[in-house]
Homo-oligomer: A and B are copies of this chain.
Amino acid sequence: MASSSFAAASHLLYPAALVGSSFAPRRGRPAAAVPAAVEGGREFDFKGYMVARAAAVNRALDAAVPVAYPERVHEAMRYSLLGGGKRVRPVLCLAACELVGGREPLALPPACAVEMIHTMSLIHDDLPCMDDDDLRRGQPTCHVVYGEPLAVLAGDALLALAFRHLADPSSYPSDDLHPPAPRLLRAVAELARCIGAEGLVAGQAVDLESTGLADPVSLDRLEYIHLHKTASLLEASVVLGAIVGGGSDDQVERLRRYARCIGLLFQVVDDILDVTKSSQELGKTAGKDLASDKSTYPKLLGLDKSRQFAEQLLCDAKDQIAAFDPAKAAPLLHLANYIAYRQK
């Protein structure tokens, strides 16, 4: 297995010619189940959409974590939180809010909250006692710069700040735009469930106990790990956006299923990229899964079947948003494509 090359990967990933732009529109083989109407907006400027939303999220994150006393822990939080990244989770949150008819500024605080949680999980994951990673997004990891104790604390503080930012009325632009308290409370409980021992932490824990075993883990277990370790937080992102946007229960559940599909897709693609890309291209250590005997889709299924599985997940995700207004669904549709066809 893993007789991979960039050329072999290109039926799922972007053609090499388009690699220059992270948000280049998809030109490869179309995913079969997508109705033309939904694929629709050929005019939809996905790159412009992502760049504008990421900039808004970055401004909001910058404002949410001031440089305050004690400076070092705030600096460590800011270092990891503001150090780049595509802001896929926050943008999913904003897009889901708009899709159900909500106004986008309503979703900025939950969008920031999910990014804070994501950053916390990266900081703690990278610790020497966990994955022991020195490099993240091409930069030294938090504990390398600030030391382990402060990295643990910065992670804890980001976790707490996520809930504060989500729950505090002052995070929202005005009383008119403040989501009703019962919806915010539901968002708090959803976020907490998605990151706790039934969510993100469950995935990390099962991943931990599956590492270094003599036998490869089963596909079921691998799916459990990724549905919890990766999909949970994408689920929270989309579900929180839909909740604060005033979505119906049916809409929330549809979007939850969409998110679980693209969450698993995200990881399958990550596994594929790990064996098909260089460290320089990824901005993090490549081939690490292979070196560590960690189970991945390419190892269990082979590269071709992993790609087929990714295509299926992409179709399933798009099915969930097919019933929405195509114009409003365009961002989530393109985000699913982006996750499938990203280069890193």
Measured CA separation A136–B79 after assembly (Å): 33
Q: Does chain B have a CB within 8 A of A265?
A: no
A173 to B128, CA, bound (A): 43
A219 within 8 Å of B by Cβ? no
Least distance between A238 CB and chain B CB atoms (Å): 18
Tell whether A152 pairs with B167 under 8 Å between CB atoms, given A74-B197, A201-B157.
no
Q: Give the docked Cα–Cα distance between A180 and B184 (Å).
A: 13
Partner of A205, one of B72, B182, B189, B205: B72
Instruction: State how many angstroms separate the Cβ of A239 from the closest Cβ of chain B.
Output: 14
- Selected from B69, B157, B160, B209, the residue in CB contact (under 8 A) with A70 is B209
Mask of A306-339 contacts with B, CB within 8 angstroms, 1/0:
0000000000000000000000000000000000
Instruction: Say yes or no: B70 contacts A206, CB within 8 Å.
Output: yes
Q: Which residues of B sit under 8 angstroms from A182, Cβ to Cβ?
A: 181
Does A253 sit at the interface, judged by CB under 8 A? no
Q: How many protomers of this protein does the assembly include?
A: 2
B150 touches A208 (CB 8 A): yes
Q: How far is the CA of A150 from the CA of B157 in the complex (A)?
A: 19
In the assembled complex, A195 has its CB within 8 A of some CB on chain B: yes
Bound complex: CA of A198 vs CA of B64, how far in Å? 13
**Contacts A73-B202, A129-B129; is A181 near B188 (CB within 8 Å)?**
no
Q: Residue A185 at the B interface, CB < 8 A?
A: yes
Q: B74 near A153 (CB under 8 angstroms)?
A: no
- Return the CB mask of A168-190 against B: 1 if under 8 Å, else 0: 10000000000011101110110
In residues 136-173 of chain A, which contact B (Cβ within 8 Å)? Answer: 148-150, 152-153, 155-157, 159-164, 166-168
Residues of chain B lying within 8 A (CB to CB) of residue A237: none
Which residues of A in the span 112-129 have a Cβ within 8 Å of any Cβ on B? 120, 124, 127-129
Asked whether A295 is an interface residue with its Cβ less than 8 Å from the other chain, the reply is no
Q: Does A294 count as interface, using CB distance less than 8 angstroms?
A: no
* Nearest chain B CB to A183 CB, angstrom units: 9
A157 contacts B189, CB within 8 Å? no
Given A188-B188, A189-B164, A189-B167, check contact A197 B152 (CB 8 Å): no
Known contacts A129-B148, A192-B160; is A153 also within 8 Å of B70 by CB?
A: no
Interface residues of A in 182-225 (CB under 8 A from B): 182, 184-186, 188-189, 191-193, 195-199, 201-202, 204-206, 208-209
Candidate in A68, A148, A198, A205 with the most chain B CB atoms within 10 angstroms: A205
8 A Cβ contacts from A43-77 to B: 65, 68-70, 72-74, 77
Does B202 lie within 8 Å of A70, measured CB to CB?
Answer: yes
In the complex, 25 of the A-B residue pairs with CB atoms within 8 angstroms, ordered by the A residue number, are: A72-B205, A73-B197, A77-B197, A120-B156, A124-B156, A153-B208, A156-B159, A156-B195, A157-B201, A160-B193, A162-B192, A163-B163, A163-B188, A163-B191, A164-B189, A164-B192, A164-B193, A164-B196, A167-B188, A168-B189, A168-B192, A180-B181, A181-B182, A184-B185, A185-B185
Q: Given A68-B197, A69-B202, A164-B193, 11 more contacts at CB 8 Å?
A: A129-B152, A149-B208, A156-B195, A157-B201, A160-B192, A162-B192, A167-B189, A168-B192, A180-B181, A181-B181, A185-B188
